[in-house]
Structure 1
Amino acid sequence: MFDQQARLERLLARHRDAVVVEPAAGRPALVRRDQILVAGHDAPAAEDLVRRWYDSRHDECGVTRLRLRAPAKVDVCELAARLGGDGRHRRLSVSPNHLVHGQPLWWSGPADLPRPAPPVPRPRTAPDAGRRRAVTVAVLDTGLAPHPWYEHAGWYAEQDDEAAEVLDADLDFELDAQAGHGTFVAGVVLRHAPDARLLARRVIGGDGVGDELDVIRGLAWLAARGGADVVNLSLGCHTFDDRPSPVLARAIAALGRRTAVVACAGNAGGDRPFWPAALKPVIGVAALDAAGTDRAWFSNYGWWVDACAPGVDVASSYVRFDGPRPRMNGADPDRFQGYATWSGTSFAAPAVAGRIAGVAAAEGVDAVTAADRVLDPAARPTLPDLGVIIRS
């Protein structure tokens, strides 16, 4: 078991505007201090209500970020609850700016760290690939690093600077905690949909941490490009009140009804809703154990989970990096040559996203129809609180 308190302390040291909140005992969340997010149409009303604590306003992507004056010491969770309304029906679309995390790790995780692996066979394109429907999968994550599986593909050449992995942001000569996460996720997608065209955007850092606004920016960027057939979000968070963030929910809804959105269920090992996986329009994916027959010990579960897929010792594409650790038992534990094995619901989700993309391409249907077929409980086995079983 990893020292989660030490990991949390490192996160808070790196993100000095982050704070742990726990309105209900035993149900913590992480938010940006002195920030609230408001849907654009609600911004004037919210700004007027917070004027006594107000510092500044920033508008982008249909969302307004209101910064509050630090000396006021405003509880942003209490404020968001008051602005949103006391009942079940929210009056304004307001949320604290929650931190989101990639999901090989979290307080009660992690599943594990990546381990160097021998080369994995390149995904084979279908013989009739040229006649299949073209399918685009968006991977909003840590970005992409060059890899033999796709570095000569036309879609990879079209990626911009915001798609590049940052491997060692703190310059300590070691890989950041989740560097390579997006590259790994992309490989899982391609193993199930070799002909897919990927669109990548960096929305979390190499430490695996971002926030709601970062994800909303990525979703808005994707919508501006015309969207994608499938979106994979191997990240998420618990919210302060265990309800969905209305501003993030609106950003996902803006992608339209023809887009299948897939998100990981999280690695807290419990049934507390994890967002955005628990949103109704989103396909939440839990992780199966190494045998593929039951829940992985770290995986979340619950009524809100739609599917499960292998999430232990998954093999995929990874970055090239040689860290400073010495060889042990004849092996170099931090020398990566483009391949790794890793565990987490982060890597179960793209297996489902890839399967949906593969069916859409092979059968010439839209992604939502493909998702209905992939997740049909009448055609596939299911597990309680884990949904439909998707095996490799």
Structure 2
Amino acid sequence: MFDQQARLERVLARHPDARVVEALPGRPALVRRDEILVAGQDAGAAEDLVRRWHDSRQDEHGVTRLRLRAPAKVDVCELSALLTKGGRLSVAPNHLVLGQPMWWSGPADLPRPAAPLPAPAQAVPPRRDVTVAILDTGLSPHPWYAEADWYREQRDEVAEVLDADLDFALDAQAGHGTFIGGVVLAQAPAARLRARRVIGGDGVGDELDVIRALRWLAAWGRADVVNISLGCHTYDDRPSPVLAQAVAALGRATVVVACAGNAATDRPFWPAAMKPVVAVGALDGDDRAWFSNHGWWVDACAQGVDVASTFVSFDGKRGPVQGIDPDLFQGYATWSGTSFAAPVVAGRIAGRAAADGVDAVTAADRVLDPGSHPALADLGVVVDSRKGTDCQRSMA
């Protein structure tokens, strides 16, 4: 409990505009103070209704952020519930989202340096191009893909920030996006990755940036699969209607995969628990990883313990211990969390689409067919990362 509280205090110290809310006893959530999000078409009506507390308005990518005057001390959860009552408006607090594993009520697993891994190889030519979007901390250069045209097109805009607080230590979740990119490529070597940075190296972001990224992807229109290895619990345990609209805007041709979360609970974790999203839990061998969320809303599971993948290069301030430097990373690491089970599934879907020459939705149906694959109660269909499709690689 002390460790959990300490992690929460670090989050709140680094994000002073955040607060813990507990509209339902024993089911806390994190929100930005004095902010509500409104779907674009409802912005004018919502602004009129909150005018007495209104401070400013920001519109971007089909979502509006309304800031409220701090002295008014408005309960943004109560206000959102009032404005959405009866389905009148699409309004939600601006929930904080957190990358998994460093989630304040879950385990605090850290990456560990690992030996180099062979780059994934395409066994047969893909029958179609497939793009996987990764909403995360960004993407650092790596030998696996540094010279790929898709990476050169976005390199500067998606670069990971490794030490934002300048303490000469790798931020808690720096490298998270780069790690996930490697997991995807291990399953789909021919995939083109498109990164969008929505959380910082501390693993913390907010719903607004996720919505903006989803709306941008919808306008871009070229993502076959979207991997979201982050999320949140909401104040009312219901999906944010504003986020739900952003997911829907991607259209039926795009498959969204999200991690189920690391709080070892059956409490819905969003956006994974949304019906259009493939929610992925973590396995430890043949069993559920102790930290993995689970429940009726989880669709699939994959290995999430001691996963090996690509990582950033960084030498921290700690010295070697018995000849081993615990914070010297040279491009590879092992890590645990549902964050790293989700891209196994996303990558497998992308790999199947490329190999079979089918759209992502058809590929997802094949990968997640319960009639052809084993399934576990409250964890869904088992996706075995060791069992390749026609385009699979060999990877330790």
Tell me if both proteins adopt one fold, taking TM over 0.5 as the criterion. yes
Residues 110-142 of structure 1: per-residue CA shift (max 9 Å, x gap):
25100000011111122324xx21000001100
Give the match for residue 384 of structure 1: 377
Give the match for residue 73 of structure 2: 73
**Contact conserved, 1:102 with 1:204, CA < 8 A, in 2?**
yes
Distance in structure 1 (CA, Å) of the matches to 2:128 and 2:2 = 45
Which amino acid in the other structure matches residue 78 of structure 1?
A: E
Please show how residues 172-321 of structure 1 align to structure 2 within 5 Å: 172-289=167-284, 291=285, 293-321=286-314
**Contact conserved, 1:147 with 1:319, CA < 8 A, in 2?**
yes
Give the match for residue 350 of structure 1: 343
Please show how residues 95-174 of structure 1 align to structure 2 within 5 Å: 95-110=92-107, 112-129=109-126, 132-174=127-169
SS in structure 2 of the partner of residue 305 of structure 1? coil
Please show how residues 11-30 of structure 1 align to structure 2 within 5 Å: 11-30=11-30
Distance in structure 1 (CA, Å) of the matches to 2:336 and 2:89 = 39
RMSD: 1.1
Which amino acid in the other structure matches residue 121 of structure 1?
A: P
Q: Would you identify which runs of 4 or more consecutive aligned residues in structure 1 move more than 6 Å?
A: none
**Contact conserved, 1:111 with 1:344, CA < 8 A, in 2?**
no
SS in structure 1 of the partner of residue 168 of structure 2? coil
SS in structure 1 of the partner of residue 364 of structure 2? helix
Distance in structure 2 (CA, Å) of the matches to 1:62 and 1:12 = 28
SS in structure 1 of the partner of residue 238 of structure 2? coil
Q: How many residues align?
A: 385
1:193 Cα deviation from its structure 2 partner: 0.2
Unaligned runs of 5+ in 2: 386-396
Answering whether residue 52 of structure 2 is matched by residue 59 of structure 1, we say no
Give the match for residue 324 of structure 1: 317
Which amino acid in the other structure matches residue 323 of structure 1?
A: G
**Contact conserved, 2:160 with 2:175, CA < 8 A, in 1?**
yes
Give the match for residue 93 of structure 1: 90
Distance in structure 2 (CA, Å) of the matches to 1:340 and 1:139 = 19
Distance in structure 1 (CA, Å) of the matches to 2:263 and 2:97 = 13
Residues 274-319 of structure 1: per-residue CA shift (max 9 Å, x gap):
0000000000000001x2x111000000000000000000000000
Distance in structure 2 (CA, Å) of the matches to 1:20 and 1:145 = 32
Give the match for residue 34 of structure 1: 34
Distance in structure 2 (CA, Å) of the matches to 1:154 and 1:209 = 29
Unaligned runs of 5+ in 1: none
SS in structure 2 of the partner of residue 52 of structure 1? coil
Q: Structure 1 vs Structure 2: percent identity of aligned residues?
A: 78
**Contact conserved, 2:63 with 2:212, CA < 8 A, in 1?**
no
